[in-house]
């Protein structure tokens, strides 16, 4: 999750484009993306899920991280999580392919989820890559893509060249799997990212109004329009499907201006300002509160040392799986699933 402030976007208006994105778009003759016939069936299912499904980012409630030590999730807890989510969500984005997440594809398939984007937290971990690849092969009607890392470029844990080499290798090994990386939106505007954009089958962007200098005093409509404008900017430089993986606001602490009402309001306006299509949509971030995140620096790349209480409260459901206002406002999905 990004914490970088982009001052030049502070004067956002409904029709404005940021200078950074405009420059990037002007410098590109055509929007870039990978064109790979072998991946087209999965991309077709991804586009259908964007247009007609409802995505949520998911980490198991039983997964915890403390001082870098990971407690893995168990299958029973994952099934309980996904059973709670399934009436309102039919599409998932995960962050990890191991530490219990190996169980997610089978359980999601049994519960009739329509789409799964598997996150690979550490794409240098061959065991995690194997687990993700196994899921691609075993669940071809469910898995619509792989996300390699989470904010690796932003946190300087990798570089475009290294990611590009990995993507080329995986394109050869898993030609049927659409591939992406997940970064704060401004990372994609960099000139050094242009070659990488041409290798990605789809785009996962984190777009957090919360980290803009105008956020605290802005109304929720401004925040929602900001996200919509960023998606327009990204579409000018990338020709594949675009999913906003992270956006929204936490529900606490109240002293920082966060509440269930504000979270629900922003999502309500996002549904209005960024209606889902086969080319773009947003995921609800995140499924469940995670109390451990307030104390774990790895949960928020780029965050300064210390406790960050807001990190514990991004869920649309609390840590006991009870729905918050934003979740309660979502009508149950129909069959076939209705748009978000």
What pLDDT score was predicted for residue 308?
A: 87
Cβ–Cβ < 8 Å for 236, 30: no
What pLDDT score was predicted for residue 22?
A: 45
What pLDDT score was predicted for residue 127?
A: 97
- Phi/psi at 148 (nearest 5 deg)? -90, 100
Which has the closest alpha carbon to 70: 43, 48, 53, 95?
95
pLDDT digit string, tens, across residues 265-287: 999 999 999 999 999 999 999 99
In this model, does residue 25 exceed pLDDT 50?
no
Question: What is the reported pTM?
Answer: 0.91
pLDDT digit string, tens, across residues 167-196: 999 999 999 999 999 999 999 999 999 999
Mean pLDDT of the region 194-207: 97
pLDDT digit string, tens, across residues 76-110: 999 999 999 999 999 999 999 999 999 999 999 99
pLDDT digit string, tens, across residues 112-147: 999 999 999 999 999 999 999 999 999 999 999 999
Beta bridge partners of 243: 204, 281
pLDDT band at 11 (very low <50, low <70, confident <90, very high): very low
| Sheet strands (E) in 12-123 | 55-58, 64-66, 69-71, 91-94, 115-120
Spatial distance between the Cα atoms of 58 and 314, rounded to a whole number of angstroms: 11
* Cα dihedral 278, 280, 284, 285 in deg (nearest 10): 140
């Amino acid at each position: 999750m990004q914490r970088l402030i982009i001052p030049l976007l502070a004067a956002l208006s409904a029709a404005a484009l940021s200078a950074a994105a405009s420059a990037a778009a002007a410098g590109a003759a055509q929007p870039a993306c990978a064109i790979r016939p072998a991946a087209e069936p999965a991309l077709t299912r991804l586009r259908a899920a964007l247009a007609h499904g409802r995505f949520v980012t998911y980490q198991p409630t039983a997964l915890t991280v403390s001082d870098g030590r990971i407690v893995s999730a168990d299958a029973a807890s994952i099934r309980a999580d996904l059973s709670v989510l399934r009436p309102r969500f039919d599409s998932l984005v995960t962050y990890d392919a191991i530490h219990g997440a190996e169980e997610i594809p089978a359980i999601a398939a049994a519960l009739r989820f329509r789409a799964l984007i598997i996150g690979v937290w550490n794409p240098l971990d061959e065991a995690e890559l194997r687990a993700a690849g196994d899921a691609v092969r075993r669940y071809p009607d469910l898995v619509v893509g792989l996300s390699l890392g989470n904010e690796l470029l932003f946190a300087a844990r990798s570089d475009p060249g290294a990611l590009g080499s990995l993507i080329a290798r995986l394109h050869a090994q898993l030609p049927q799997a659409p591939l992406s990386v997940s970064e704060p939106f401004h990372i994609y505007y960099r000139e050094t990212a242009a070659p990488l954009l041409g290798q990605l089958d789809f785009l996962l962007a984190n777009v957090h109004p919360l980290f803009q200098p105008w956020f605290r005093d802005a109304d929720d409509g401004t925040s929602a329009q900001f996200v919509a404008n960023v998606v327009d900017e990204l579409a000018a430089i990338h020709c594949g499907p675009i999913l906003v993986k992270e956006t929204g606001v936490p529900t606490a602490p109240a002293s920082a201006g966060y509440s269930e009402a504000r979270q629900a309001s922003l999502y309500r306006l996002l549904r209005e300002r960024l209606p889902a299509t086969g080319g773009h949509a947003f995921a609800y971030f995140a499924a469940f509160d995670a109390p451990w995140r307030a104390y774990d620096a790895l949960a928020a790349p780029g965050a300064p040392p210390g406790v960050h209480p807001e990190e514990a409260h991004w869920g649309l459901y609390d840590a006991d799986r009870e729905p918050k206002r934003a979740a309660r406002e979502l009508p149950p999905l129909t069959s076939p699933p209705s748009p978000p």
